[in-house]
């Protein structure tokens, strides 16, 4: 590339920036936020490779390499933590990802404006409940003595089940309560994509005799396919990122074998145990695995459907 060509390109970029200065000004706070709160703190990641001593600081702490990673991989809890975190993440992906799409498709087919608004309000409302309230509701509804679910089971001749303490029920309760809480809110982006579908496609299909279900399958779903793929890529990038708060609130000594995940282990070792370097190494491992999964899924989506994040 010749020098004049480079200069011309640089001039075009500067001209484009000057022309759209107001748009760049709008995005500036977002860039500053990410630099200050996302990129600058990455300086502290190096404590995962050091034996961090508070009084010595990050630079003064001795370097230990991958000792903390090796300790985590060889620990007694590694297999349990990884399997629980991965299974919950995959369970959420399998159940929690398609339901908002189905809900959006169904809401989009509702013709009565008032009934549509009512359904949207009812499905959106749980999103604004805190995790503490959701877990409290679970304890109330599933109580072996007074919970309505167990009362119905006893009414039909069954035995009460201690849902909140039996390990085999933990993942199902965690995932489905999360689906109930977030499916309405998650459907908003799909409803926005459906609003952009050309009505003429539906009119032509209706003239050809297509049923509402056929139009939903052959027009609406393909139209929002790029949005679905992008959301799938983003969710796959957080498979190991199982949240801490709700798991911790639902966790007890009886269901620990199914509820102990990476985030709760980091809390116990890092916050309660003051093992900052060790917990930082575990957190870094989780982030790197999530990044690898994100890159793989993004690459496959681009190869198969020509839709990707980049």
Structural contact between residues 208 and 288, judged by C-beta atoms closer than 8 angstroms: no
Query: pLDDT at position 114, please?
Result: 92
Is residue 90 a contact partner of residue 239, using CB atoms and an 8 Å limit? yes
Q: Are 149 and 141 in contact (CB under 8 A)?
A: yes
Instruction: Please answer whether residues 84 and 286 qualify as being in contact, where contact means their C-beta atoms are separated by less than 8 angstroms.
Output: no
Q: Which long-range contacts (CB under 8 A, 24 or more apart) does 29-37 make?
A: none
Tell whether the model's pLDDT for residue 7 goes beyond 60.
Answer: yes
CB 308 within 8 A of CB 233: yes
Count of beta carbons in the 10 Å neighbourhood of residue 114 = 8
Q: What is the pLDDT of residue 4?
A: 61
C-alpha–C-alpha distance, residues 300 and 308, integer Å:
9
Query: pLDDT tens, 269-291?
Result: 998 998 999 999 999 999 999 99
Max distance between CA atoms of the chain, in angstroms, equals 86
Overall average pLDDT of the 127-133 stretch? 93
pLDDT digits (tens, 9 = 90+) for 135-190: 999 999 999 988 999 999 999 999 999 999 999 999 999 999 999 999 999 999 99
Percent of the chain at pLDDT exceeding 90: 71
Query: SS3 for 63?
Result: strand
Cβ–Cβ under 8 Å, residues 235 and 93:
yes
CA distance 96 to 234: 13
Average pLDDT, the chain: 91
In angstroms, rounded to a whole number, what is the distance separating the alpha carbons of residues 45 and 63?
A: 13
pTM of this prediction?
0.87
- For 210-260, the pLDDT digits (tens) are 888 999 999 999 999 999 999 999 999 889 888 899 999 999 999 999 999
DSSP output for 109-159:
H---HHHHHHHHHHHHGGGGS-HHHHHHHHHHHT-TTT-HHHHHHHHTT--
Structure tokens at 61: 């702490």
| Sole residue written with tokens 């393909």 | 222
Q: Give the other-Cβ count within 10 Å of 71's Cβ.
A: 16
At 91-124, the pLDDT tens digits run 999 999 999 999 999 999 998 989 999 999 999 9
Output the pLDDT for position 38: 87
């Amino acid at each position: 590339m010749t020098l004049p060509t480079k200069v011309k390109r640089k001039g075009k970029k500067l001209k484009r920036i000057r022309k759209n200065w107001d748009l760049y000004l709008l995005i500036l706070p977002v860039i500053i936020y990410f630099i200050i709160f996302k990129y600058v703190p990455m300086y502290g990641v190096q404590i995962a490779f050091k034996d961090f001593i508070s009084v010595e600081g990050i630079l003064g702490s001795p370097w230990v390499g991958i000792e903390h990673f090796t300790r985590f991989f060889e620990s007694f809890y590694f297999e349990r933590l990884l399997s629980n975190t991965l299974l919950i993440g995959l369970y959420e992906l399998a159940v929690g990802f398609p339901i908002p799409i189905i809900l959006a498709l169904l809401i989009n087919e509702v013709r009565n404006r008032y009934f549509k608004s009512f359904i949207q309000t009812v499905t959106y409302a749980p999103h604004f409940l805190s995790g503490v309230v959701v877990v409290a509701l679970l304890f109330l509804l599933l109580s072996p003595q007074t919970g309505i679910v167990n009362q119905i089971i006893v009414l039909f001749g069954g035995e009460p089940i201690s849902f909140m303490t039996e390990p085999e029920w933990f993942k199902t309760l965690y995932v489905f309560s999360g689906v109930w809480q977030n499916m309405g809110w998650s459907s908003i982006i799909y409803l926005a994509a459906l609003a952009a579908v050309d009505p003429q496609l539906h009119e032509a299909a209706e003239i050809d005799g297509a049923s509402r279900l056929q139009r939903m399958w052959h027009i609406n779903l393909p139209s929002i396919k790029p949005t679905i793929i992008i959301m799938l890529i983003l969710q796959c990038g957080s498979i190991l990122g199982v949240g801490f708060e709700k798991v911790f609130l639902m966790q007890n000594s009886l269901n620990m074998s199914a509820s102990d995940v990476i985030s709760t282990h980091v809390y116990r070792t890092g916050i309660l145990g003051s093992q900052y370097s060790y917990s930082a190494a575990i957190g870094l491992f989780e982030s790197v695995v999530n990044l690898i999964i994100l890159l793989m899924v993004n690459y496959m989506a681009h190869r198969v459907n020509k839709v990707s994040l980049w």
